A and B are shown apart, each in its own frame.
Chain A
Amino acid sequence: MSALLSRMSRRHAREAPPTAALGIVLIAMGVVAPSFFSAGNLRDLALNNVAVMIVALGMTLVVLTGEIDISVGSQFAVCSVAAGMLAKAGVPIMLVPVFVLALGVLMGALNGLLIGMLGLPSIIVTLAMMVAWRDTLRWTTDGAWIQDLPANFQWFGMSPEAAQLMIMAVGVALATSGAWALRHLALGRRVYAVGADAEAARLAGIDPRMVKFGVFATTGMLVSIGAMLNAVRFSTVPSNAGIGFELQAVAAVVVGGTAITGGRGTILGTVIGVALLGAIGTALTYVGIGPFWVKAIQGLIILAALGGDALFTRLARRAHLPARAVVAH
């Protein structure tokens, strides 16, 4: 039993700091404002953060390979607007996700081509894409919202309760299957291998270029799913969706214990990171602290997560365990 516990704690040690922080926030809320835990609030929190979480799943893969993708916010906006335009043009609502998904994969694959195949630095390529997609969208929509959508656009034409359940189910399914695939499939192990040492991975017969290409294309797909699920919660599509998403997603990934240098980190950590950063704003409103300090507190959480990570690494070293062996591999 204790052996199991220690294995568990060693396996998930990287997620310990954000889990502890989330625990502190939740306990504090339980004492100060128990109504925070009402079913309605938890449901709303989940629905409002599911899109960021799905995007952050993709970002986790990208960061695990040692790269970064800051074009996700702009891709998110392009996919949202595309969903609205397609629905308005008369495409059956059940076919809209198919097209949007294809668009997301295409945008991700373009990143993947330039970064994976041609070996260009990801921060530059995705910076260029972020600006280019955003301005393309501004140019084509002129800032106008997509309005007068068919009535079955909102909630896919289902009842709101059923659709909300479905949105959350998709989020949970993506997170669990992602976590499982990263841990148990050869494909998932390759992501870690490439992130830990691309050259070693290449010598071991893995093509790092294909892995990176796949990771960026997958991220594009996840972004389009997130955009689709978010768009159908409303009856109109604003053209400025997803501004600042890239920073939210990167922050959640990092707070969740994934090393920005690649090779270390888990989906579970990212989900906890999203929960922590997503809950903090609402929690402050419940406690009655003004919204002015939210940004400063989120910055402190990121730095604290780094501090926790460093502390953990130091402790691990003291215990004569190489840091890498402690990771959830």
Chain B
Amino acid sequence: MQLSLTEARLPLRVRLFPNKEWVLLIVIVAEVVVYGITGTNFATLGNAFEITRLSVEIGLLALALTPVIVSGGIDLSIGSMMGLSAVAFGYFWRDAGLPIPVAIVFTLMIGMAGGALNAVFITRFKFPPLIVTLGTLSLYRGIAEGVTGGVQHYSGFPAGFLHLGQGYIGGHVPTQLVVLALVALWSAWSLHRTGAGRALYAIGHSAEGARYAGIPVARRLATVYVLSGAAASLAALVYVAHLGQAKSDAGTGYELMAITAVVLGGASIFGGRGTILGTLLGLFSIVLLQNGLRLTGQPAELSGILVGVLLIGTILVDVFTQHAATRAAPSPTATEQPDVRNSQVAVLSAVILLGALIVAASNWVLVNSLRHDLRGGPSMTAASPGATATHRTLIAMMPKAKGDPYFISAHKGADSAAAALGVDLLWDGPTDLDAAKQNEVVEAWITRGVNAIAVSVENREAISTVLRKARERGIKVVTWDADAEANARDFFVNQATPEGIGNTLTDEAARIMGGSGELAIITASLSAANQNEWITFIKLRLAAKYPRITLVAIQPSDGDRDRAFAETQTVLKVHPKVKVVMAIAAPAVPGAAEAVKQSGRKDVKVTGLSLPNMCRPYIKSGEIESIVLWNTMDLGALTVRVAQALASGELGAGASTLDAGRMGSFQVVGSEVRLGLPFIFNRTNIDRFNF
């Protein structure tokens, strides 16, 4: 009675934000003000809704994770469960032929079953949640990869289902936002307003104490983990509807983003503290930051650094205000807490100073880029045929992965072409292969209002809807390197068809092998769409033309040079008769070559798809016989030229050639601009190329 009286007298600030979530509110307001002024079309209603659309999947995970963390646990398996659920949903709908609603119910049951497995280990066997879910993180993703063989994916879902992830309600509100809002309201009510929800706080403070107080600890905890599995399945459904495709890699790494949102929102990782409102604030402060960086054209890598500083900053504020509180009103526990020492204050100041420096640095970058825009603007227009006097053409170009050396070289070519043509180039995209991120970036570009968008497509079904939306808004759309659906873009800059690549690679390998023997392939990741398509054509070509060549192994490298190295070593030992190792991911070729070199085997040659600079030493020393590729710098440059010609109206439907200045003229077939045939780099010509 006494307690409830004092609680009622607490100021609103404390009741609403028990864990100082108001700090986040300040951060959010600051972000809105800064980006509203500096960003293009940041502070618009449309952008507000787009931002929330992108945060739904992570938001659902974060909402489910909040009660888990409040109860003192953690669930790392939710991202993997998304992958498993996506694949399961595709299976139920397509292979088992179930109607969509039934498939949805079954998928949610898979999620609950996965959550139940976690719950059994945690509540029945009393294992630490961190370790249990670390194991199931591996297990669930592994099952998803195992049953699909990494290759299989599901698409072609009916429009009614896709509406869940791509449609609008009432013309403005993204459908999945309603799902998020409903789940948020329900979680807030059940966590803060029901006995079972309040019990979680007691369990988080002290499970043993909660048990003595008559709370069924095991049952409450089990419920929480089952619900978190179900929420992961729900997030997977939204994800599939959003991208139009179900694959085993759905939700990779999402668990860490969800944890970040929850912890930023004031939940204590030790349990007993945390609110749904805080989680939502944490979520939006991260999403706003990423979107704002994009619309102001600052490097997206800053977001990781700033989120890190924000995370540590918020818990520091928390720790120190608590220290202050305990000193002001000494309680029995206060004596056990070490006092704040001068050294600690010094450390705190240093950390704050570091944070301030980073923020200052980011502003410096921002100011510099603005100055560059202002200065570079008028002077260059004379040289640019396409730009109007007041407004330079802005071309936004996206690679599949920014860190990939293949795309880094394309970026170089694109940059020089943009400078020569007098257009502005915006280069942004996912850091690693990530179809959902590609959509996010395109959405930001539409909001920002660029003149042309050029995308190297990671996932055909996933990106086409958003590209069509860009075209509706009058933005010219080009695809390069990998195509989207034909009606989603104006032109496709085609460097080579998957069939052409597969055939060239196979013919080259067969030439080296003399038409017979054993061949091994080192691919990227097992679920990489491009590589799997090439492998299909390689197999077809082998069957049709080279019956005496046997493909003995296909091993993954995950785009990691060291992994390719280790896999090649094993392949060479298990299949000692292998004559050629064909590596079909850029970093895998030098990895495989180093393995051959260190094995001392002179009778094994490496070929594959990679970049000249990376492979040069090995081509010269003889481990790599040849690599197949096109001139990636030219590809980047040609893409910028096509985008610029489209934006200026120079290139339209029905054209048959395109003049690209220094690079010469290119053939246009239908809506495809052809770069030319794949090129074979070997010892004789490698020195003519530098990319």
A230 to B613 alpha-carbon distance, docked (Å): 22
- Say whether B34 faces chain A, with CB atoms less than 8 Å apart: no
Residue A190 CB within 8 A of the other chain: no
Is A297 part of the contact surface with B, judged by Cβ < 8 Å? yes
Indicate if the CB atoms of A296 and B142 lie closer than 8 Å.
yes
Q: In the complex, which of the residues A209, A235, A296 contacts B594, with contact meaning CB atoms closer than 8 Å?
A: A235
**In the complex, which of the residues A48, A135, A199 has the most CB atoms of chain B within 10 Å of its own CB atom?**
A135
Q: Is A38 in the interface zone, CB < 8 Å from B?
A: yes
Task: Please name all residues of chain B whose beta carbon is closer than 8 Å to the beta carbon of A282 when the two chains form the complex.
Answer: 566, 570
Cβ B146 vs Cβ A303 within 8 A: no
Q: Smallest distance from the beta carbon of A162 to chain B beta carbons, Å?
A: 14
Contact A132/B309 with A260-B131, A302-B138, A310-B127 known, Cβ cut-off 8 Å: yes
In the bound complex, what is the Cα–Cα distance between A236 and B403 (angstroms)? 16
With known contacts A121-B269, A238-B587, A285–B614 Cβ distance under 8 A:
no
In the complex, the chain B residue whose C-beta lies closest to that of A294 is B142
> Across the interface, which residues of B come within 8 angstroms of A310, CB to CB?
125-127
Q: Is B405 a contact partner of A139 (Cβ separation < 8 A)? A: no
| Shortest Cβ gap from B57 to chain A (Å) | 18
Main secondary structure of the interface of A (DSSP, over half): helix
Known pairs A114-B351, A138-B403, A295-B145; A254 contacts B312 (CB<8 A): no
Could you tell me if B311 and A300 are in contact, using CB atoms closer than 8 angstroms? no
Taking the closest CB of chain B, its distance from the CB of A236, in whole angstroms, is 7
Q: With A127-B311, A147-B614 as known contacts, state yes or no: A139 contacts B526, CB within 8 Å.
A: no
Size of interface on B: residues with Cβ below 8 Å to A? 82
> Smallest Cβ distance from A144 to chain B, in angstroms?
6
Q: Evaluate contact between B308 and A124: CB separation under 8 angstroms.
A: no
Shortest distance in angstroms between B600's beta carbon and chain A's nearest beta carbon?
10
B128 within 8 A of A: yes
Alpha-carbon separation in the docked complex, A241 to B140 (Å): 25
State the Cβ distance, A46 to closest chain B Cβ, in Å. 12
Write the nearest CB–CB distance from A23 to chain B, whole angstroms. Answer: 21
Is B315 positioned at the interface, with any CB of A under 8 Å from its CB? yes
B256 in the interface (beta carbon within 8 A): yes
Interface positions of B from 644 to 681, Cβ below 8 Å from A:
none
B139 touches A135 (CB 8 A): no
User: Which of B302, B308, B594, B598 has most chain A Cβ within 10 Å?
Assistant: B308
Whole-angstrom distance from the CB of B278 to the nearest CB of chain A? 14
B347 and A118 within 8 A (CB): yes
Q: Contacting A234 at CB < 8 Å: which of B268, B312, B344, B594?
A: B594
Q: How far is the CB of B411 from chain A (nearest CB, A)?
A: 8
Q: Say whether B573 contacts A128, CB under 8 Å.
A: no
- Let me know if B130 is at the binding interface, CB within 8 A: yes
Q: Provide the bound-state CA to CA distance between A130 and B404, in Å.
A: 20
> Hey, which chain A residues are within 8 Å of B149, CB to CB?
290, 292
| B131–A292 touching, CB < 8 Å | no
Contact residue among A119, A290, A306 (Cβ-Cβ distance under 8 Å from B131): A306
A143-B402, A143-B403 as given contacts; A295 in contact with B138, CB under 8 Å: yes
**Partner among B142, B311, B554, B567 whose Cβ is within 8 Å of the Cβ of A295:** B142
Which residues of A lie under 8 Å from residue B126 when comparing CB positions? 310
Q: Is the CB of A247 within 8 A of B571?
A: no
Pick out which of these stretches binds chain A: B96-104, B225-233, B556-564: B556-564
- Of all chain B residues, the one with the shortest Cβ separation from A304 is B135
Residues on B with C-beta less than 8 A from A139 are: 299, 301-302, 305
Within 8 A of A (CB), among B382-417: 402-405, 408
Closest residue of B by beta carbon distance from A297:
B142
Task: Please tell me if the beta carbons of A117 and B570 are within 8 angstroms of each other in the complex.
Answer: no
Which chain B positions have C-beta within 8 A of A123? 74, 269
A240, B559: Cβ atoms under 8 Å?
yes
Nearest chain A CB to B204 CB, angstrom units: 14
Chain B residues contacting A197 (CB-CB under 8 Å) are: none
Contact A38 B348, beta carbon cutoff 8 Å: no
Q: For chain B residues 256-311, which have a beta carbon within 8 Å of chain A?
A: 256, 259-260, 263, 268-270, 299, 301-305, 307-309, 311
Say yes or no: B614 contacts A292, CB within 8 Å: no
Known A117-B344, A128-B308; contact A240-B127, beta-carbon cutoff 8 A: no
Whether the pair B614, A303 counts as a contact (CB closer than 8 A) is no
Asked if B134 and A286 make an inter-chain contact with CB atoms under 8 angstroms apart, the answer reads no
Chain A residue numbers with a CB within 8 Å of B570 are 41, 44, 282, 285-286
Main secondary structure of the interface of B (DSSP, over half): helix
Q: Nearest Cβ distance between residue B588 and chain A, in whole angstroms?
A: 11
Assess whether A299 is interfacial by the CB under 8 Å rule. yes
Asked if A8 CB lies within 8 Å of chain B CBs, one says no
Cβ-based interface call for B498 (8 A): no
**Neighbouring A residues of B305 by C-beta, 8 Å:** 131-132, 135-136, 139
- A205 sits at the interface (CB 8 A): no
Tell me whether B131 and A299 are in contact (CB under 8 A).
no
Contact B146 A293 (CB under 8 A): yes
Chain A residues 246-304 with CB under 8 Å of chain B are 247, 250-251, 254, 260-261, 282, 285-286, 290-300, 302-303
Cβ-based interface call for B141 (8 A):
yes
B150 in contact (CB, < 8 A)? yes
Residue of A nearest to B129 (CB): A260
- B466 in contact (CB, < 8 A): no
Report yes or no: A254 in contact with B142, Cβ–Cβ below 8 A.
Answer: no
Q: Are A299 and B573 in contact (CB under 8 A)?
A: no
Contacts of B137 in A (CB 8 A): 247, 299
Q: Which residues of B contact A152 (CB under 8 A)?
A: none
Contact A118 B594 (CB under 8 A): no
Whether A302 and B526, one on each chain, are in contact in the complex, defined by CB atoms closer than 8 angstroms, is: no
Whether B494 sits at the interface, judged by CB under 8 Å, is: no
Interface status of A25 (Cβ within 8 A of chain B): no
Is B185 an interface position by the 8 A CB rule?
no
Given A139-B299, A300-B139, the answer on whether A260 and B307 have CB atoms closer than 8 Å is no
- How far apart are B622's CB and chain A's nearest CB, in angstroms? 15
**Minimum CB–CB distance for B398 against chain A, Å:** 14
Given A118-B347, A129-B308, verify A239-B125 contact (CB < 8 Å): no
A62 within 8 A of B: no
Contact with B along A90-134 (1 / 0, CB 8 A): 000000000000000000000001100111110111011101101
A119 touches B319 (CB 8 A): yes
- Report A273 CB to chain B, min CB distance, Å: 12
Of the A-B pairs whose beta carbons lie under 8 Å apart in the complex, a sample of 6, sorted by A's number, is A114-B351, A124-B263, A127-B260, A285-B570, A299-B139, A306-B127
Additional A-B contact list (14), CB under 8 Å, known A251-B134, A293-B142: A44-B570, A128-B312, A138-B301, A138-B403, A139-B299, A142-B408, A145-B587, A147-B614, A286-B574, A296-B138, A299-B136, A306-B125, A306-B127, A307-B125
B residues whose Cβ falls under 8 Å from a Cβ of A: 74, 121, 125-128, 130-132, 134-143, 145-146, 149-150, 256, 259-260, 263, 268-270, 299, 301-305, 307-309, 311-312, 315-316, 319, 336, 338, 343-344, 347-348, 351, 402-405, 408, 431, 526, 553-556, 559-562, 565-567, 569-571, 573-574, 587, 590, 594, 598-599, 613-614, 617
